[in-house]
């Protein structure tokens, strides 16, 4: 039995969730395990060595020797490859190890017998300090501390009893006029709200009609550019005015929002922190070059070589923040026969008609194949497959298509390739949206994909037209496998890839970059939530509220989000609440979305 299998078997017994997390962890390319001069493996992450490259065993023994004379409980920050821990492990001494990196923890379990630590539940990952007593002595593994100063500071505050709950914060989310980042901005605002923060969404979409009018008012392109820039400047001033009124702790800006460097400078003078989420391909859209240096934290979808470019331009605080799923926008649906006929097909695609898709899809025209979205040429070889006159697809219709289709094709966009981008890295929103619906998807291979889903178990992949055709034929003939993969993909999203979880991570990273700036407030003693106060204490709705998870808001949105996740038959109160929720959504129906 390998060391990994031996360690994992113990971990599955004492901490099954942690075992599942580490089993699904993919090791990044910059995590290298090499033989040291003494023959024992050593670990290097990027340019930081986490163990000696000469004799890691001796180094670990010397580290442990410095702690001799104190046999009391101990918290160690940093697992490395475990050399420094082995001399300390004894049945009498309580020891907890907090490792901030899942990839490092996975490598340690692959190269070291850590069963004595794992068997007594001594491994913690990230900010999980469950069961660790306050004021326990802390010893840091210096290379890990250098690599992760923010998590180390959080652990020290926790042990000192000074780590108050973050927030509730006042957060203003600034969205774009239009485009693929507009729905992401809405989901972001909703995610912050689900975390309990007082959140406002500055939605500029209503101004898009005026932007279009200005673009057609004259044929003089210089005049058009001046007019549209004046509108964008005006919208920026509107944002600044709202900031002065709302007084947020954090302004969280989405890509394509109407913010220019001068406005970002003005925002930073008004609020404690400004973060920007660049949900674009940095090689296709390059306006990040002007904006990234002007914000406190710059979030990306891509890592290298984007990180090196940011560093070269003097940007210090940057991090990768992948997209996620909004469970309210993309739930599993029971469709009517009419909707199933209208939106269903053997194969479908929802998205804009980029060059690579127009080329690639010509090889799939012999299938029952429906193409939904804008920017497709009706008078083309694909014309008979294009639905609804190539109109943009609403969020609601997208969810229906995903649920009605047997095989949802997901080909990432590229203006430079005739088919699949061989250097494709980041994941588009559709990967998460399809999984949230519990829909089966066949997606082109992307370098980041195994970090988020297990290919062949939670979704299917293809790397060529021939492979796409082969897998379409296979999965059309194997319905049970399709359903199993789709269900597993949805389960993965529910556990790891919601916007609330993603944005909680974003706030942790912001704290790491700027410790002590975001306030830790005690939650206000408020009146009962509106839904709770609206029903008698013995009403069935009160039982639903009692079953809500701690991170769910006790309002109509929170209740319905939990009802949708449940697989139990609907009760009458649940059906009424869902109906009220859908009625409210219809009244406040958002605009149609594009297909990135």
Q: What is the pLDDT of residues 530-560, one digit of tens each?
A: 556 566 656 676 777 766 665 566 667 777 7
Give yes or no: residues 306 and 359 share one domain: no
Same structural domain, 199 and 268? yes
69 lies in some domain: yes
Q: Helices 149-159 & 499-513, crossing angle to 10 degrees?
A: 90
What's the confidence (pLDDT) of residue 216? 85
Average pLDDT, stretch 374-402? 96
Same domain, 293 and 416: no
Average pLDDT value for residue range 73-78: 95
Assigned token pair, 78: 């940093």
Number of domains within the chain: 4
**Are residue 133 and residue 190 in the same domain, yes or no?**
no
Q: Is the pLDDT of residue 495 over 80?
A: yes
Average pLDDT over residues 148-174: 86
pLDDT at 478 > cutoff 70: yes
Residue ranges making up the domain that contains 192: 170-320
Domain assignment present for residue 325? The answer is no
At which residue do the structure tokens 């194997």 appear? 478
pLDDT per residue over 401-423, tens digit each? 999 999 999 999 998 888 899 88
Q: Which of 400, 401, 436, 427 is nearest to 328 (CA)?
A: 436
- Percent of the chain having pLDDT more than 90? 69
Entry field: residues in the chain: 596
For residue 463, tell me if it sits in a domain: yes
- For 514-537, how does the pLDDT look when each residue is reduced to its tens digit (9 = 90+)? 988 988 765 444 434 555 656 665
Q: Which residue has the higher pLDDT, 568 or 397?
A: 397
Q: 462 and 343, same structural domain?
A: yes
492/363 same-domain check: yes
Average pLDDT over residues 433-457: 95
Q: Is residue 247 part of a domain?
A: yes
Same domain for 61 and 23?
yes
Specify the pTM: 0.79
Give me 485's structure tokens. Answer: 């993969």
Tens digit of pLDDT for each residue in 210-246? 888 888 888 888 888 888 888 888 998 999 999 999 9
pLDDT, tens digit, 9 for 90 and up, residues 313-343: 999 999 999 999 999 999 999 999 999 999 9
pLDDT in tens, 261-316: 999 999 999 999 999 999 999 999 999 999 999 999 999 999 989 999 999 999 99
Q: How far apart are CA 358 and CA 352, in angstroms?
A: 10
Q: How far is CA 279 from the centre of its chain?
A: 11
Q: Which residue has the higher pLDDT, 483 or 208?
A: 483
In what helix (H) or strand (E) does residue 77 lie, and over which residues does it extend?
A: strand 74-77
- Is the same domain home to 113 and 191? no
Lowest mean pLDDT: which of 106-120, 179-193, 467-481, 563-577?
A: 563-577
Closest CA to 154 of 217, 80, 98: 98
pLDDT of residue 251: 98
Number of Cα atoms under 13 Å in the Cβ half of residue 128: 15
Q: Within its chain, how far is the Cα of 15 from the centroid?
A: 24
What is the pLDDT averaged over residues 111-125? 94
User: Does residue 71 belong to any structural domain of this protein?
Assistant: yes
Is 107 found in the same domain as 14?
A: yes
pLDDT at 185: 97
In this model, does residue 465 exceed pLDDT 90? yes
Q: Residues 8-57: pLDDT tens digits?
A: 999 999 999 899 889 888 888 889 999 999 999 999 998 899 999 999 99
């Amino acid at each position: 039995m390998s060391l990994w299998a031996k360690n994992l078997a113990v971990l599955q017994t004492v901490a099954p969730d942690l075992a599942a997390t580490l089993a699904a962890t993919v090791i990044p390319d910059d995590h290298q395990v090499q033989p040291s001069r003494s023959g024992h493996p050593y670990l290097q992450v990027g340019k930081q060595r986490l163990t000696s490259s000469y004799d890691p065993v001796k180094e670990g023994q010397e580290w442990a020797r410095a702690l001799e004379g104190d046999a009391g409980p101990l918290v160690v920050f940093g697992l490395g490859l475990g050399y420094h821990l082995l001399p300390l492990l004894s049945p009498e001494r309580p020891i907890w190890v907090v490792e901030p990196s899942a990839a490092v923890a996975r490598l340690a379990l692959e190269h070291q017998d850590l069963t004595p630590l794992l068997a007594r539940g001594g491994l913690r990952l990230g900010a999980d300090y469950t069961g660790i007593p306050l004021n326990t002595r802390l010893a840091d593994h210096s290379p890990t501390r250098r690599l992760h100063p923010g998590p180390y500071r959080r652990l020290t505050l926790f042990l000192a009893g000074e780590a108050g709950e973050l927030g509730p914060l006042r957060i203003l989310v600034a969205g774009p006029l239009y485009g693929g980042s507009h729905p992401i901005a809405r989901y972001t605002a909703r995610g912050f709200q689900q975390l309990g923060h007082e959140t406002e969404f500055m939605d500029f979409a209503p101004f898009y009609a005026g932007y279009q009018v200005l673009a057609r008012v004259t044929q003089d392109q210089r005049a058009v550019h001046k007019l549209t820039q004046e509108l964008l400047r005006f919208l920026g001033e509107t944002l600044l005015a709202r900031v002065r009124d709302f007084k947020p702790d954090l302004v969280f800006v989405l890509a394509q929002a109407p913010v220019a460097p001068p406005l970002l400078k003005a925002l930073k003078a008004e609020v404690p922190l400004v973060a920007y989420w660049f949900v674009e391909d940095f090689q296709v859209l390059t306006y990040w070059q002007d904006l990234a240096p002007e914000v406190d934290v710059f979030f990306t979808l891509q890592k290298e070589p984007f990180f090196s470019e940011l560093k070269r331009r003097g940007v210090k605080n940057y991090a990768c923040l992948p997209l996620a799923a909004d469970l309210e926008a993309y739930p599993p649906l029971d469709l009517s026969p009419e909707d199933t006929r209208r939106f269903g097909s053997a194969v479908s695609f929802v998205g804009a008609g980029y060059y690579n898709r127009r080329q690639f899809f010509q090889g799939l025209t012999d299938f029952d194949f429906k193409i939904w979205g804008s920017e497709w040429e009706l008078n083309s070889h694909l014309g008979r497959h294009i639905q609804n006159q190539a109109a943009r697809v609403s969020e609601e219709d997208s969810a229906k298509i995903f649920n009605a289709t047997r095989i949802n094709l997901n080909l990432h966009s590229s203006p430079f390739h005739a088919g699949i981008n061989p250097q494709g890295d980041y994941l588009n929103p559709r990967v998460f949206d399809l999984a949230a619906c519990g829909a089966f998807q066949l997606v082109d291979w992307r370098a980041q994909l195994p970090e988020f889903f297990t290919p062949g178990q939670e979704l299917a992949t293809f790397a060529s037209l021939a492979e796409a055709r082969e897998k379409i034929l296979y999965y059309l003939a194997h319905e049970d496998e399709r359903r199993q993969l789709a269900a597993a993909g949805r389960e993965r999203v529910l556990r790891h890839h919601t916007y609330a979880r993603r944005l909680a991570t974003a706030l942790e990273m912001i704290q790491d970059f700027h410790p002590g700036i975001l306030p830790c407030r005690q939650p206000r003693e408020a009146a009962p939530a509106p839904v709770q106060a609206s029903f008698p204490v013995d009403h069935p709705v009160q039982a639903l509220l009692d079953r809500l998870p701690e991170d769910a808001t006790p309002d109509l949105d929170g209740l319905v989000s939990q009802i949708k996740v449940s697989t139990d038959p609907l009760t009458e109160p649940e059906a009424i609440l869902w109906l009220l929720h859908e009625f409210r959504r219809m009244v406040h129906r958002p605009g149609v979305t594009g297909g990135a």
